[in-house]
Amino acid sequence: METFIHQVVAGIATGGVYASLALALVMIYQSTHHINFAQGEIAMFATYMAWTLINAGVAYWLAFICTLLLSFSLGVLIQRIIIRPVENAPVLNIVVVFIGLLVILNSIAGWIFTYTIKAFPSPFPKEPPFGLYFISSHELGSICVTMVLLLLLYSFFKFTPLGLAMRAAAQNPDSSRLVGIRVGWMLALGWGLAAAIGSVAGMMIAPVVFLEPNMMSGILLYAFAAALVGGIDSPGGAVLGGFIVGILENILGAYVIGTELKLSVALVLIIVVLTIKPAGLFGKVIVSRV
Amino acid sequence: MSRMLLEVKDLFAGYAATEVLHGLSMKIEEGSITTLLGANGAGKTTTLRALCKMIKVRGQILFDGQAIEGKATEDIVRLGVAHVPDGRGTFGSLSTEENLQLGSYTRKDKHEVALDQEKMYSYFPRLKERRNQQAGTLSGGEQQMLAIARALMLRPRLLLLDEPSFGLAPLIVREIFDIMQTINQNDKVTILLVEQNAAMALDLAKYAYLLETGKLVLSGLSEDLKQDQAVRRSYLGH
C-alpha cells in the first residue's frame, strides 16, 4: 500500500510537469492551430540556461526567475523571427519548420553543452518533508511549483485585460483587430509564455531525468498524450490530462508493464484517444459543413 | 455642407485576384448618418472592410483630414473608427461582459469605461440580464446588440455598421434602428450604415449613396433618393 501511494504521488509530481508542457502546447495550438514539436527542446534549452546560471554561482531561485525571463524572450524571438514569416504557409511547411527548430535546438545544446549527462540541482531538501515516507521533498516541491504556476496563469488569463486580449486574439483575430488588439504581438506573447511555462517543466523534471540534450523527448511525448487526453483546445483539460498521464504511467510502470515499457503508455494513449475520442475529454468537437 | 469626417478618393480594393471596388469616392459629414445601398455583390461590405484596412487598398482615405490608407486596422481603431462587421464578429466563447470590456481595450480612462458599460446596459437591458452568459449562446438579436454595444465601448467618432438587421425579427430591427438614432443624436457618433432594408435605412439616414458593381452611381440626401425612380424600383419595391 505504501509503495502504491508513493507511485501515485510520484505520478502527480511528474504529471504536473507533463501538465505544464501540455499547457504550453495547448496555448500555441489555440491561437494558431499548430502543434509546436519544438516545445520540449525549448524547455531543454531553457534548463541548460538555468544550469549555466547556477553553475556560475547564481542562487537557485534567482536563476529560476532569470530562466523564466530568458525563455520568455527566446519564445518571443522565435515567433517573431522564425514562425511569423511562415504563419500563413500550408500546414506541412510549418510542421517542417517546427521539426527543424527541434533538431537545431537539440544540436546547438549538444554543441555548446556536450552530450554528457549532467546533474541538475533540486531546490528542495534531500530528506522527505515532515517525516513523510511516501513523498520526496522534490516531488512535493515540484507539485507546489506547478500549482502556483497554473494558478498564476489562470488569474492572468481570467482577470487581466491583456489576458483577455490574448484569449480574444486566439479566438477571433479579425474581430480582435477591430477592437484594436495587436494580434501579431499577442501571438508572440503566447509563444513567450509557452516557452516560460516549458522552462519550469524542464527545471522541475531535470533533477529526476538528468540534464542532457535529449531529456525532453520522452517528456514531450507524455505532454502530447496529456494534451490529447484533455482535449487539444482545452487548457484545463490539458492540465488534468497531464496528471492522468503521470499517474497512469507510474502505476502501469510499477505494477503492469515494467519501467522499460513506460513510454509506450503515452503512445498507446495517443492512439486510443485519436481513434475513440479525438476531441479528448474536454475538447470541442469541430463539425464543418462541406 | 459642414465638416467632413471621412473622405474617400478613388479607392480600389478587393480580394486576391478579384477587384471589387473600382475607384470609389465618397464623403461622410461629421455627425450625420449616411447609408450605403446596393444590390448583393455591389461592394458594400468590401467598402466597410477597406475603410478600416481589413483588406488591401489603393487610393486615398482621409479620416478627420488624416490619411489612414497606410495604417493598420489596430491603429485606425485607435483613431476612433468602430466597425460592426457582417456576421457580427462577437467573441462566442467569452461572456457578454468580456466582449464589452474588449470593446474598450484601447481606452485608458477606466472610470469612464465603467460608466459607458452601464450606459450600454441601459441602451440594451437584455445584455445586462445576459452579462455573464457566453456570447455564443445569445440569440441573433442579442448578439447584434452586443456587437453594436461593443463597438460603442470604443467611444468611436465613426461607426461602421454592416447590415445590422440581417436575419432579425422586425421588432428587434426597429429597436436597433431606434438605438442608432439615439447614439447619433446623444453621443454625436457619425454613422455609416450598410443595409438591405433600404426603406428603413433611407428613413434613418440623412445622406445616401447607391453602389453598383464597385462604383457609386447615385448620391445625395436620402429624401431625394427616396423619390428617385431607379431607387424606388430596385430597392423600395414600388
Residues of B in contact with A161 (CB under 8 A): 101, 105
β-bridge mates for residue B28, sequence order: B6
Q: Tell me the pLDDT tens digit for each residue of B58-112.
A: 999 999 999 999 999 999 999 999 999 988 889 998 999 999 999 999 999 989 9
B45 assigned to some structural domain: yes
User: What is the domain-level CATH number for residue A127?
Assistant: 1.10.3470
* Domain span including residue A245: 2-276
B140 assigned to some structural domain: no
pLDDT at A213 over 60: yes
How much of chain B exceeds pLDDT 90, in percent? Answer: 70
B95 assigned to some structural domain: no
Per-residue pLDDT at A286: 65
Instruction: Give the pLDDT band (50/70/90) at residue A290.
Output: low
pLDDT at A42 over 70: yes
User: What is the domain-level CATH number for residue B37?
Assistant: 3.40.50.300
* Domain span including residue B62: 4-80+156-236
Q: In whole angstroms, give the CA distance from residue A55 to residue A1.
A: 40
**Domain count of chain A?**
1
A284 assigned to some structural domain: no
Task: Tell me the mean pLDDT in the region A253-275.
Answer: 86
User: Strand, coil or helix: what is B34?
Assistant: strand
- Taking each helix axis from N to C end, the angle separating A215-230 and A183-209, rounded to the nearest 10 degrees, works out to 120
Residues of A in contact with B154 (CB under 8 A): 179-180
Per-residue pLDDT at A287: 65
User: Cβ of A174 under 8 Å from any chain B Cβ?
Assistant: yes
Q: In whole angstroms, give the CA distance from residue A159 to residue A138.
A: 31
Return residues 112-171 of A near B (CB < 8 Å): 161, 164-165, 167-168, 171
b (16+ CB within 10 A) / e for B48-78: bbbbbbbbebebebbbbeeebbebbbbbbbe
ipTM of this predicted complex?
0.90
B54, B78, B91: residue with CB nearest A172: B91
Residues near B160 by Cβ (< 8 Å), separated by ≥ 6? B48, B51, B52, B81, B82, B83, B84, B192, B194
Do β-strands B158-162 and B207-212 pair in parallel, antiparallel, or remain unpaired?
Answer: unpaired
Name the minimum distance, in Å, from the CA of B9 to any CA of chain A.
23
Task: Tell me the mean pLDDT in the region B232-237.
Answer: 75
Output the average pLDDT for chain A. Answer: 91
Per-residue pLDDT at A289: 56
B144 assigned to some structural domain: no
In this prediction the pTM is: 0.87
How much of chain A exceeds pLDDT 90, in percent? Answer: 69
Task: Tell me the mean pLDDT in the region A56-61.
Answer: 95
A194 assigned to some structural domain: yes
Q: Tell me the pLDDT tens digit for each residue of B169-218.
A: 999 999 999 999 999 999 899 999 998 888 899 999 999 999 888 888 88
Residues of A in contact with B101 (CB under 8 A): 161, 164
**Domain count of chain B?**
1
